[in-house]
Structure 1
Amino acid sequence: MEWKDSYDIGVEKIDCQHRQLLVKLNEFFDACTNQKGKEKIEETLKFLKDYTLEHFGNEEQLMSEIDFPELAEHQKTHAEFVKTVLELEESIKTKGVSVLSTIKLNRTLTDWLINHIHKCDRLIGDCIAAKGNKAV
């Protein structure tokens, strides 16, 4: 997948983190395409755990600072994503890596990029613009 300017929300720190996620997503896709998804899945899940702690914290702090009206709902979607990642990690620990687990991670990441970042996170940028704020 390629980064589209429409994914940018207008906050460099957040946009940079989103681009970093896309890089990891593409690395995982490439590994799957080359029949190496099983080898890459654990590394990708570790990245996601670290990424979500930092990124979601940054994003939620920003939303709080700008009085984002949908903060609670956004936090809920973040928590659901973390839960999905942890469940997938636990499944891999107990059952091992499977084709199904690589497909599930592919779908989860693609859905997150397309639906959450492109649609939900975009609203953060819109909120900042509507308030005439300059986000740092």
Structure 2
Amino acid sequence: MAWRESYEIGVEKIDCQHRQLLVKLNEFFDACSNQQGHEKIEETLKFLKDYTIEHFGSEEGLMNDIHFPELAEHQKEHADFVKTVLELEEAVKTKGVSVLTTIKLNRTLTDWLITHINKCDKLIGDYMAEQRAKA
């Protein structure tokens, strides 16, 4: 997947973190395409755990600072994503890497990028632009 300007919310720190996620997503896709998804899944899950702590903290801090009206809903989506990542990690630890876990991680990352970042996170940038326009 290629980064699109339309994914940007207008906050460099957040946009940079989103681009970082896309790089990891593409690395995982490439590994899966080359039948190396099994080898890459644990590394990708570790990245996601670290990423969610840093990125969600940054994003939620920003939303709190700007009094974003949908903060609670956004936090719930973040918590659901973390739960999915932890469930995948647990499945890999207890059952080993399977085609199913690899597919689920692919789908989770793709859905997150397309749905959450491109739609939900865009609302943050839109809200900030509205607030600037009112000022």
Smaller-chain TM-score range?
over 0.9
- Cα drift, residue 73 of structure 1: 0.1
Aligned to 1:109: 109
Q: What letter is aligned with 1:77? A: E
The CA deviation string for residues 25-64 of structure 1, in whole angstroms up to 9 with x for no partner, is: 0000000000000000000000000000000000000000
Q: Which aligned pairs between 1:48-67 and structure 2 lie closer than 5 A?
A: 48-67=48-67
| Separation in structure 2 between the aligned mates of residue 8 and residue 110 of structure 1, nearest angstrom | 16
Q: CA deviation at 1:15?
A: 0.1
TM-score normalised to the size of structure 2? 0.98
Which residue does the alignment assign to 1:18? 18
CA positional deviation for 1:114? 0.1
What are the Cα deviations for residues 86-134 of structure 1, in whole angstroms up to 9, with x where unaligned?
Answer: 000000100000011000000000000000000000000001000008x
Counterparts of 2:117 and 2:20, CA distance in 1: 13
5 Å matches for 1:42-121?
A: 42-121=42-121
Deviation at 1:66, TM superposition (A): 0.3
Q: Aligned partners of 2:54 and 2:78: how far apart in 1?
A: 12
Tell me the residue number matched to 1:38. Answer: 38
Residue 65 of structure 1 aligns to which amino acid in structure 2? D
CA RMSD in angstroms, aligned pairs only = 0.7
Unaligned runs of 5+ in 2: none
Q: Compute the displacement of 1:14 (Å).
A: 0.1
Counting matched residue pairs gives: 133
Find the aligned partners of 1:121 and 1:38 in 2 and give their Cα distance. Answer: 30
Cα distance in 1 for residues equivalent to 2:127 and 2:50:
27
Report the residue type matching 1:96 in the other structure.
G
Structure 1 unmatched ranges of 5 or more: none
